[in-house]
Amino acid sequence: MTYLSAEFVSPLTAAQIAQARPLALSKFVPPFAGSPWDLAATAATTSPFAPLEDVYAFTAVANATYDIFSFSYLDPYLITLYDQSGKALAVDRESDAGYGTDYLASFVAPYSGTIYVEAGWHQGTADANLAASLAIYADLDTIPKPSNTINGGNGDDRFLDTRSADLVNGGAGVDTMQYGGKRTDYDIVKSGADLLVYSLVNNDGVDSLRSVERLSFADSVTDTRHSDLAQALYVSYFGRAADTGGLKNFQARLSELNAPASPAELSARYTSDAGVKSLIDSFASSTESGALYSGDNKAFVRAIYTNLLGREPDQGGLDFWSGAINAGSLTRANASLSIMAGAQGNSSTQGKLDALLIGNKISVASNFTYGLETEGKVGAYNGLGAAAVSRELLKQVSASTDAFTFQTQVMKAVASLPSSAGGLAPIGDAPPPAHADAPLILLGGGDSQPSAFLYA
C-alpha cells in the first residue's frame, strides 16, 4: 500500500515518545455482520488541552492492516503514524469521513512492535470543553499465512488464490489460477520457469506458479501458452520486448501452427513447415529487424551476437554461422532464431553463460510486457522512442540477473514511457501510415492479405 508522503513531517521528540499514552487493542465485536476488523482500541477526552495530549502508542502486528479514525471539534490537522524510533511512517490523505473526522485507511504494519499515532486534534481554543476521540481498528486476516503448496493432477485443474504465498505446480493439462481482483491489481513477474504473482492492493504474499497456463482475473484472462516463444522471437529479431497486442496475437498464431515450446524446435521446422517459415520470415523481413541486422554475412552475424548475446562472436562461431549462410544451408531469415537456439544448447562454459543470458532476457521482456498492463501503459509502447526504452532495459540484463529483484528497473522503464504514443515514429515493416501513432500491419511472407497480427 502507498500513503501520502511523510517526509515533510518532523520526528517525534523524546518527550513526546515518553509521554505517549498506551492503547491496548482488544477483540472487536462488530455491530453488523461483515466487518473486517478483529481488534479495536479507542480513546476519548474532553480535556481543554487535548491537542497537546494527542500522541498514543499501540503494539502492531507485522502485516496486519490498520484503519485509524480521529475526531475533534474542528477538522483534525493530520493523522500521523511514527515508528518505534519516532520517525514518521505515514499521514492520512485528508479523505475525510465528514468535517471533524479524518481517516487513515489500510495501513499495513511493516513490523511487529510499537507504533505511535498522533491524532492531530484541533479544538480551536485550548479552553474549549469539547470532545475529541481516536479509534484504531486492526484486520488480522491480511497477515500472510504459511506457504500453501498445491500440486495439480493430469487434467485441466483450477486453483483458487488464498491469503498465503501459494506454491502451485499445475502439472499436465491446461491449468488455471483464479484471482478475485482485476488484472491491474496484480504484478506478474516471470523468473525462469516460474511466474510470481502478487497483489498490489492486498497483502496476500507472493504466489509462485509453475506449469500454470492461465491466470484468471475478475476482468480478463492472461494466457501464458507460447508466451516464452513469442518473446524469444521479439528478443532475437527486434532486441526488445513484445507489445501487449503483438504478444497475444503471436501466441495465437503459434498455437494455430501447433508450434513447439523451444526456439530450437521452431527453427528446425523452418524448412519443412510453410506456416512456420512464413511466420519467421515476417519477423526477419521487417524494417525493424533490417535496421538491427545488415551488411554482408559476417557483419550480419556480428550484429546478431551483439544484440542477442551482448558480445562479439568468437572466430569459430563467426565462421560457422556466416559459412552456413554462404553455403545456403541457413537463410538469413532463420539465422537469428538459429543462433539463439544454438546458444541455448551449447554446453561449453561460454555457452552456459549465453543460455542464462537469453533466458533472463526473455524473462525481463515478459515482465516488461506484463508491466504495460499493470501500469496502464499499453498504448504508450509505440514508436521508436518506446522501442529504445525496452532495448536499453534488455542491455542491462546479464547471465546473473535475478528477474524478481530486477523488477524495479523494469517498472522504472515502463513508467518512463509517455502517457500517449502520439508523435512517435511507428515501428514495423510497412511505410508510415497517415497517423504516426497508428499500428502497423505486419505482412506475413508470401501472404496476399495482411496477417492477423499487429506491431505496436
Residues 214, 258, single domain; the answer is no
Residues 367, 268, single domain; the answer is yes
Label residue 445 by pLDDT band (50, 70, 90): very low
Mean pLDDT for all residues in the chain: 86
**Residue at 170 is within a domain:** yes
Label residue 437 by pLDDT band (50, 70, 90): very low
Q: Encode pLDDT of 302-356 as tens digits.
A: 999 999 999 999 999 999 999 999 999 999 999 999 999 999 999 899 999 999 9
Domain's final residue, options 223, 244, 269: 223
Q: How many CB atoms lie within 10 A of CB 433?
A: 13
Domain's final residue, options 92, 115, 142: 142
In whole angstroms, give the CA distance from residue 63 to residue 141. 9
Task: Please report, in angstroms and rounded to a whole number, the separation of the first and last CA atoms in the chain.
Answer: 32
Residues 201, 136, single domain; the answer is no
Q: Where do we find the cell 512464413?
A: 278
> Total domain count for the chain?
3
Kind and range of the H or E run holding 140: none
Instruction: Give the per-residue pLDDT at 424.
Output: 33
**Residue at 1 is within a domain:** no
Higher pLDDT, 428 or 356: 356
Cell of 340: 539463439
**Residue at 8 is within a domain:** no
Residues 154, 138, single domain; the answer is no
Residues 293-307, mean pLDDT to the nearest whole number: 95
Q: Is 308 strand, coil or helix?
A: helix
Residues 219, 231, single domain; the answer is no
Q: Encode pLDDT of 144-161 as tens digits.
A: 766 788 899 899 999 999
- Alpha-helix residue ranges (DSSP H) falling in 208-348: 227-238, 244-256, 263-268, 274-284, 287-292, 297-309, 315-327, 332-344
Residues 105-131, mean pLDDT to the nearest whole number: 86
Label residue 427 by pLDDT band (50, 70, 90): very low
**Residue at 366 is within a domain:** yes
Residues 284, 344, single domain; the answer is yes
Instruction: Give the per-residue pLDDT at 253.
Output: 95
pTM: 0.66
Residues 131, 182, single domain; the answer is no
Of the chain, the percentage scoring pLDDT greater than 90 comes to 68
Quote the domain boundaries for residue 246: 227-455
CB 115 within 8 A of CB 65: no
Residues 292, 432, single domain; the answer is yes
Residues 208, 246, single domain; the answer is no
Find all residues with CB under 8 Å of 209, minimum gap 6, and list them: 166, 168, 170, 177, 194, 195, 196, 197, 215
In whole angstroms, give the CA distance from residue 278 to residue 276. 5
CATH value at residue 130:
2.60.120
**Residue at 6 is within a domain:** no
How do 164-169 and 207-210 pair as beta strands? parallel
Residues 206, 243, single domain; the answer is no
**Residue at 2 is within a domain:** no
DSSP labels, 362-420? HHHHHHHHHHHHHTT-GGG--SHHHHHHHHHHHHT--TT--TTTTHHHHHHHHHTS-S-
Label residue 128 by pLDDT band (50, 70, 90): low
Residues 121, 172, single domain; the answer is no
Residues 42, 137, single domain; the answer is yes
Q: Encode pLDDT of 62-104 as tens digits.
A: 888 999 999 998 889 889 999 999 999 999 876 655 788 999 9
Q: Encode pLDDT of 406-417 as tens digits.
A: 999 999 999 999
Label residue 442 by pLDDT band (50, 70, 90): very low
Cell of 328: 545456403
**Residue at 9 is within a domain:** no
Lowest-pLDDT choice from 196-210, 263-277, 420-434, 437-451: 437-451
**Residue at 3 is within a domain:** no
Domain's final residue, options 98, 119, 142: 142
